[in-house]
């Protein structure tokens, strides 16, 4: 995963923000050196004087007027650059865009890829895949409190507000894996509300999206079969969904292809059997306050569930 940084842009919008940052750094850095230099010269002159000199008032007034004018000019210049950057960011042509809905929850991201045909929509959680060089429109809202979508390598921040839809347009122009993070304090586990973002070439992305449309894999082994029965009839199905099974609840992350994701628990754990096992043993010990109750499974049931869920590629 690349460093979570706006200094390493991977998209058109982030590039524009980086250019504005460079300009502001150059201008304010130059001003700092000019002022520091002027102070040094004044101090150096003062040490060489023996008697205090009368101040030439007219010259001083002219200097103050000039400095004020230059300061105002610089500030308006930077304001103009900021407005222009804002317009450049908004100007993305979204006629051929991919539309994705993102709903913030305490403390996970619910993601749905739109499609006019309902059966072709793809729902997943806590991971965002984007096609390279194609405009994307993110329609965002929140289910509970205010969250904020922030993937600095791709764009600036935008809040997810309950009862309102906010829109972010972006286009990634470099493949890679980036880290997104909720950027608005949203409760106890705010820091553990990460969002890995994978940008990949169109062909690869389309193949992935097609794969995500498929129903959950059928169990292969007897252990996986027991795991699936447990998943469908136990408490999992009252919150989670997996396409092609009897579990269809939407209050918790969709698990249809959960084994294909990079992380578990909102970016907190790597997605491997040991972490999944630990999570199912006691999710409250790992991420205190999250909405998943302790399942209270027997050792065997837990192993069966890990075998089944771990096979949902």
Closest approach, Cβ 109 to ligand CUA, in A, equals 9
Q: Which is nearer to ligand CUA, 136 or 195 (CB)?
A: 195
For residue 193, state whether it binds ligand CUA (rule: CB under 6 A): yes
Give burial (CB, 10 Å; 0-12/13-18/19+) of 74: middle
Q: Return all residues near 1 (Cβ < 8 A) that are at least 6 apart.
A: 177, 178, 179, 196
Q: Which is nearer to ligand CUA, 54 or 163 (CB)?
A: 163
Q: Which is nearer to ligand CUA, 107 or 279 (CB)?
A: 107
For residue 182, state whether it binds ligand CUA (rule: CB under 6 A): yes
Q: Which is nearer to ligand CUA, 189 or 212 (CB)?
A: 189
Q: Which is nearer to ligand CUA, 193 or 255 (CB)?
A: 193
Q: Which of 11, 104, 156, 253 binds ligand CUA (CB under 6 A)?
A: 104
Binding footprint of ligand CUA, residue count (CB under 6 A):
9
User: Within positions 130 to 149, which residues make up the interface with ligand CUA, using CB under 6 A?
Assistant: 147
For residue 172, state whether it binds ligand CUA (rule: CB under 6 A): no
Q: Which is nearer to ligand CUA, 110 or 200 (CB)?
A: 110
Q: Which is nearer to ligand CUA, 176 or 187 (CB)?
A: 187
For residue 184, state whether it binds ligand CUA (rule: CB under 6 A): yes
User: Within positions 209 to 268, which residues make up the interface with ligand CUA, using CB under 6 A?
Assistant: none
Give burial (CB, 10 Å; 0-12/13-18/19+) of 310: middle
For residue 180, state whether it binds ligand CUA (rule: CB under 6 A): no
Closest approach, Cβ 268 to ligand CUA, in A, equals 13
Closest approach, Cβ 158 to ligand CUA, in A, equals 13
Instruction: Name the one range near ligand CUA by CB under 6 A: 33-41, 64-72, 84-92, 178-186.
Output: 178-186
Place of tokens 């969904």: 241
For residue 190, state whether it binds ligand CUA (rule: CB under 6 A): yes
Instruction: Name the one range near ligand CUA by CB under 6 A: 6-14, 20-28, 180-188, 273-281.
Output: 180-188
Q: Which is nearer to ligand CUA, 182 or 236 (CB)?
A: 182
For residue 186, state whether it binds ligand CUA (rule: CB under 6 A): yes
Tell me the sheet residues that pair with 241.
248, 254
Residues that bind ligand CUA (CB under 6 A): 104, 107, 147, 182, 184-186, 190, 193
């Amino acid at each position: 995963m690349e460093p979570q940084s706006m200094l390493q842009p991977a998209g058109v919008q982030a590039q524009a923000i980086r250019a504005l940052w460079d300009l502001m750094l150059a201008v304010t850095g130059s001003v700092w050196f000019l002022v520091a230099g002027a102070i040094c010269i004044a101090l150096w002159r003062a040490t060489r004087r023996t008697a205090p000199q009368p101040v030439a008032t007219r010259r001083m007034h002219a200097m103050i007027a000039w400095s004020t004018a230059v300061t105002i000019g610089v500030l308006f210049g930077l304001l103009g650059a900021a407005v222009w950057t804002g317009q450049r960011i908004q100007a993305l042509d979204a006629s051929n865009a991919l539309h994705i809905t993102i709903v913030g929850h305490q403390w996970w991201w619910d993601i749905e890829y739109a499609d006019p045909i309902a059966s072709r929509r793809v729902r997943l959680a806590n991971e965002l895949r984007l096609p390279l060089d194609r405009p994307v429109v993110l329609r965002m809202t929140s289910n509970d409190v205010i969250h904020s979508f922030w993937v600095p390598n791709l764009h600036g921040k935008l809040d997810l507000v309950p009862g309102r839809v906010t829109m972010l347009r972006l286009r990634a122009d470099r493949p890679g894996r980036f880290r997104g993070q909720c950027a608005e304090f949203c409760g106890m586990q705010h820091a553990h509300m990460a969002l890995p973002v994978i940008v990949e070439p169109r062909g690869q992305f389309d193949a992935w999206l097609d794969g995500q449309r498929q129903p959950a894999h059928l169990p292969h082994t007897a252990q996986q079969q027991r795991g699936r029965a447990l998943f469908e009839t136990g408490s999992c199905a009252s919150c989670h969904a997996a396409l092609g099974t009897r579990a269809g609840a939407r209050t918790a992350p969709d698990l249809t292809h959960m084994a294909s994701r990079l992380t578990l628990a909102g970016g907190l754990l790597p997605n491997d059997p040991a972490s999944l096992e630990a999570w199912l043993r006691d999710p409250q010990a790992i991420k205190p306050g999250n909405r998943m109750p302790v399942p209270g499974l027997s050792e065997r049931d837990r192993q069966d569930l890990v075998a089944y869920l771990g096979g949902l590629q």
